[in-house]
Amino acid sequence: MDLQDKKVLLGVSGGIAAYKAIELASMLYKSGAQIKTIMTDSARELVSAVNFSAITHGTVHHSQFHDSDPIPHINLADWADIVVIAPATANIMAKAANGIADDLLSSTLLACTSPILWIPAMNVHMYDNLATQDNIAILRKRGHFVLKPATGLLACGYDGKGKYPPNQEVIAAIKTYLHYGYDLSGKKILVTAGACSEDIDPMRCITNKSSGMTGLSIARAASLRGAEVSLVYADIKDEIPYHLSMAILAKSSADMHKAVVELATNHDTIIMCAAVSDYKPLEVAQSKIKKGNDISLDLIQTVDILKEVSKRRTSGQKIIGFAAETDQIEENAREKLSRKQLDLIVANDLVVAGKDHSEQIFISNTDTIKEKGDKFTLAHKLLDRINKL
Ligand code: CTP
């Protein structure tokens, strides 16, 4: 799912976050996309067109009448594989929702038949205003994609909704909406991710090498496709997508067991991606264990959360497990599929697994599909497969 040679038309409107569109342009350029930029008059008050032309090596447009092309709005609209308005002000969304075409960006949007992705960023009251919310609802109803803003300290001094999201999430959204829509809306998906750890004493623990990237990619992809996603996570090496419905930290297998059992019945799909510890110390020392003679640890088994959730499954619920293996990959995964009574298991070969690229085998009772790619692409493919179960 790369952006190589994808034609991205970047629309920059006049929000304070316009400077963040410069970083977005740079990330798009580095990922191989072709970029053309349209700036509104207000955006030109905030950032320079030279930033975009130098970074994207593409053209920057702002005027309907003073452009080298006599009909720029039609030709730019026809050129684009996707249009991304980042940041999107309340004003440009209001214009698009009402079919107003009084400058180059709004005219191009009216002429565009490719996917349109909005990245709203503004003051919390402007965002919450019913006029803005109604306009967003209209745009969504017409098939546009609108990314939720993040929450945090805003340029205006307020702390709330309306923050420009991390550009990593904008890039993931662009990749998603070039291929998918909100096809998972109405679904409630529970994903677990990361490496659980079991305390030995206040300083030491037993853990594993899972980065949590696979689970995060699945949660991110499902949420962008419109699902309500709850994430239960242990130790992970990346930022949690801000647009998930819920994210609960559960460091140990016992914490994860509690959280998953509490949430399970409220979800129609459960994807257990976390690397849950199979064993934990029989006793946790309350003080740091001091160095001395050789010692041994007594370990006891943890609860198999996946097996338990599968046993208690509600009607129509889909339960998906993972099997990270080094030997007899398919055989071991099939045994887990049957022992844990799953709808699907994803087998990973730990020997070939890379930081981002990976090979996965989706095994159900009816078929076996081998897939390769980056983790975000594999996440989308897994969601496609689950959709067909
Ligand atoms: N799992 C779980 N609870 C555990 C252990 C594992 O829910 N205590 C889940 C994992 O999240 C994964 C699946 O079970 O989806 C398979 O985990 P894995 O460690 O590969 O298999 P195990 O059943 O633990 O068997 P083994 O470690 O012997 O391969």
> pLDDT (tens digit, 9 = 90+) per residue, 111-147?
999 999 999 999 999 999 999 999 999 999 999 999 9
Mean pLDDT across 80-108: 98
To test ligand 1's pocket by mutation, which of 276, 302, 322, 327 has the most ligand atoms within 8 angstroms of CB? Answer: 276
Distance separating alpha carbons of residues 380 and 129, to the nearest angstrom: 34
7-180 CATH: 3.40.50.1950
Burial of 28 (0-12, 13-18, 19+ CB in 10 A): buried
Residue 156 pLDDT more than 90? no
Sketch the domain layout of the chain as residue ranges: 7-180, 188-387
For ligand 1, atom 4, the nearest C-alpha belongs to 304
Q: What is the pLDDT of residues 230-260, one digit of tens each?
A: 999 999 989 999 999 999 999 999 999 999 9
The stretch 358-365 carries a mean pLDDT of 94
The answer to whether residues 205 and 197 touch, using CB atoms and an 8 Å cutoff, is yes
Average pLDDT over residues 166-172: 98
Instruction: Choose which residue among 305, 311, 338, 339 to substitute to test ligand 1 binding: the one with the highest number of ligand atoms within 8 A of its C-beta.
Output: 305
pLDDT confidence bin for 12, thresholds 50/70/90: very high
Q: Mean pLDDT across the chain, nearest whole number? A: 96
Same fold, 7-180 and 188-387: yes
| pLDDT tier, 355 (very low <50, low <70, confident <90, very high otherwise) | low
Contacts of 70 (CB under 8 A, 6+ apart): none
β strands within the chain, DSSP E:
7-12, 34-39, 60-61, 82-88, 116-120, 145-146, 150-153, 159-163, 188-193, 198-199, 205-206, 228-233, 246-249, 269-272, 279-281, 299-301, 318-325, 344-349, 357-363, 368-374
* Residue at token pair 């970074």: 55
Output the pTM of the full model: 0.96
Q: What is the pLDDT of residue 353?
A: 65
User: Is 272 near ligand 1, meaning CB less than 6 Å away?
Assistant: yes
User: Which ligand 1 atom sits closest to the C-alpha of 307?
Assistant: 7
Task: Look at the domain 188-387 and name its fold.
Answer: Rossmann fold (3.40.50)
Find out whether the beta carbon of 324 lies less than 6 Å from any atom of ligand 1. Answer: yes
